Homo-oligomer: A and B are copies of this chain.
Amino acid sequence: MGKDEDTLEPFATMTLPEKEALYKTLREEYDRVCQRKLKLNMARGKPGKEQLDLVSGILTVLTDPEDCVSDGMDVRNYGELAGIPAAKQLFAEILGCKPEQCFIGGSASLQLMYDLIAKAMTHGLKNSPRPWSREAKLKWLCPAPGYDRHFGITGHFGMEMIPVPMTEEGPDLDVVEELVKDPAVKGIWCVPKYSNPQGIVYSEQTIRRLAALRPAAPDFALMWDNAYCVHEVFGEYLPFPDILSLCAEAGNPDMVYEFASTSKITFPGAGISVMACSEANQAYLQSLLKYQIISYDKVNQLRHVRFLRDKAHTIEVMKGHAEVLRPKFSCVLDTLAREIGPLGLADWEEPKGGYFVSVNTLPGLAKRTLALCKEAGVTMTAAGATFPYGKDPADSNIRIAPSYPSLDELRQAIEIFCLCLKLAALEQYAG
């Protein structure tokens, strides 16, 4: 596959018979692929086995009772709601905030985000006039394309989700600044560094404008999911501003809740996570959290502290992941450039980090492309998943997750994806 297509003219300039001939050739190729009964998966941002093996030293950093003492505390026992001081210190250094602004969670920052919104619903946030469940109407800003699990949470709690266009610098702040004048708008989802799925790094100006927002809602929540804070794939670690300081400087100390985790640093199924926010927010939230938990797993917190040590060493560990991920990202980007680029059927970002490549096809091709992929044994994130309510108005955005398959499998999968995209385009535009 792929030998002839790079000489193809863009579809727009082809005659109908040329298109029909091409469709026939590609369809035969596709039918052969289907007969191979492949099972390839580019659906989720799951690290591959090679990455997990890289960090499996974490299994043996604590082996004896004596290892389980940190700051004089036996981490095996009950207590310390907000997590062990050393884990707060580690995340604070990575994020650039203060240890006392950190609350340490379990294996999923998703749970910390969900719980924050759930508590806002049942009890309200620190500056809420009332629990959100008693508000007549709740709205939420969703930069799109974005992360499906974010939209899942706000959708689950019945909020009206308003898509906000993404620019090369992050969410369109002209739109955001206008929308937050509505007091029913209670928050916004942001993945500021290597955004999911586009891999966009918010510009400093965008970040400063977000920190200085003047929302009508006194309890507006800037949900800052810094999921990829040390997740470079190409190039050196990219320093990033501390959003907590910027919000405080702008007079919004309690507006922001920052999240991060080790899901893609150590083990996705057994990491630790953090919610960072102002000390006033911590005091308020911990007064609610104390009814829910005694503490998250402190032994695992200490394992992470011993294994990752500090920010510098965490960045070293991430270089190991990047070594594994780089050829996979290159494979996807090179194949797209070779197979799709000349045809003008789609464009895409070239991310420097994160876990995804985001492809925008010509309008109306995403669902059909992914249906063809599925039939050929290639599972991908569902079309539309990157938009609130799973509805991509242009039926165009497709999220590719290159991390989980082996390089060989990935090569097959992305070539099949390109084939399916061409078929979808020919089906639509040939007639």
- Which chain A residues have a beta carbon within 8 Å of chain B's beta carbons? 44, 46-47, 49, 52-53, 56, 59-60, 62-65, 67-68, 74-80, 106-108, 110-111, 114-115, 118, 121-123, 131, 133, 149, 152-153, 156-157, 263, 267-270, 288, 290-300
Determine if A77 and B156 form an interchain contact, defined as CB atoms under 8 angstroms apart: no
Q: Which chain B residues border A292 with CB–CB below 8 Å?
A: 110-111, 114-115, 118, 153
Verify B74–A49 contact, CB threshold 8 A.
yes
A297–B294 touching, CB < 8 Å: no
Measured between beta carbons, the chain B residues less than 8 angstroms from A63 are: 59-60
The answer to whether B299 touches A153 (Cβ under 8 A) is: no
Minimal Cβ-Cβ distance residue in B for A79: B269
Q: A293-B111, A296-B107 are in contact. Are A46 and B269 (CB under 8 A)?
A: no
Q: Closest chain B residue to A115 by CB distance? A: B292
B52, A59: Cβ atoms closer than 8 Å: no
The residues of B that contact A270 with a CB separation of less than 8 Å are 75-76, 297-300
What is the bound-complex CA distance between A53 and B293, given in angstroms? 24
CB distance from A184 to the nearest CB of B (A): 18
Q: Which residues of B contact A46 (CB under 8 A)?
A: 77-79
B residues in contact with A111, CB < 8 Å: 292-293
Residues of B with C-beta under 8 A to A300: 270, 297, 300
Q: Which residue of B lies closest to A67 (CB)?
A: B59
Which of A56, A77, A295: most chain B Cβ within 10 A? A77
> Of residues A115, A122, A298, which shows the largest number of chain B Cβ atoms within 10 Å of its Cβ?
A122
In the bound complex, residues from chain B placing their C-beta under 8 Å from that of A153 are 291-292
Candidates B52, B149, B157; contact of A77 at CB < 8 Å: B52
The answer to whether B76 touches A269 (Cβ under 8 A) is yes
- List the B residue with the shortest CB-CB distance to A106: B106
Q: When chains A and B are docked, how far (Å) is the Cα of A15 from the Cα of B298?
A: 56
**Shortest Cβ distance from A217 into chain B, in angstroms?**
19
Instruction: Indicate the member of A46, A52, A111 with the most B CB atoms within 10 Å.
Output: A111
Contacts of A291 in B (CB 8 A): 114, 149, 152-153, 156
Selected from B59, B68, B268, B269, the residue in CB contact (under 8 A) with A56 is B68
Q: Is the CB of B56 within 8 A of A74?
A: no
Known: A75-B269, A106-B297, A114-B292. 9 other contacts (CB 8 A): A47-B77, A49-B74, A59-B64, A59-B67, A77-B267, A77-B269, A107-B295, A110-B293, A122-B157
Q: Are B53 and A65 in contact (CB under 8 A)?
A: yes
Given contacts A60-B63, A63-B60, A157-B122, contact A268 B76 (CB under 8 A): yes
Residue of B nearest to A298 (CB): B269
Residue of A67, A74, A76, A157 most packed against chain B (CB within 10 A):
A76
- CA A291 – CA B78 in complex, angstroms? 28
Chain B proximity of A230: nearest CB distance (Å): 19
Chain B residues lying within 8 Å of A49, measured Cβ to Cβ, are 65, 74
A-B pairs, top 4 by smallest CB distance, nearest first, are: A270-B299, A114-B292, A76-B267, A269-B298
Inside 8 A of A294's CB, which chain B residues have their CB?
107-108, 110, 268-269
* Chain B residues with CB under 8 A of A56: 64-65, 68, 76
Query: Which residues on B sit within 8 Å (CB–CB) of A297?
Result: 106-107, 269-270, 297, 300
What is the CB-to-nearest-CB distance from A53 to chain B, in angstroms, rounded to a whole number?
Answer: 5
Q: Return 12 A-B CB contacts under 8 Å, by A number.
A: A47-B77, A49-B65, A52-B74, A59-B299, A75-B270, A106-B107, A111-B292, A114-B291, A114-B292, A121-B122, A122-B133, A156-B288
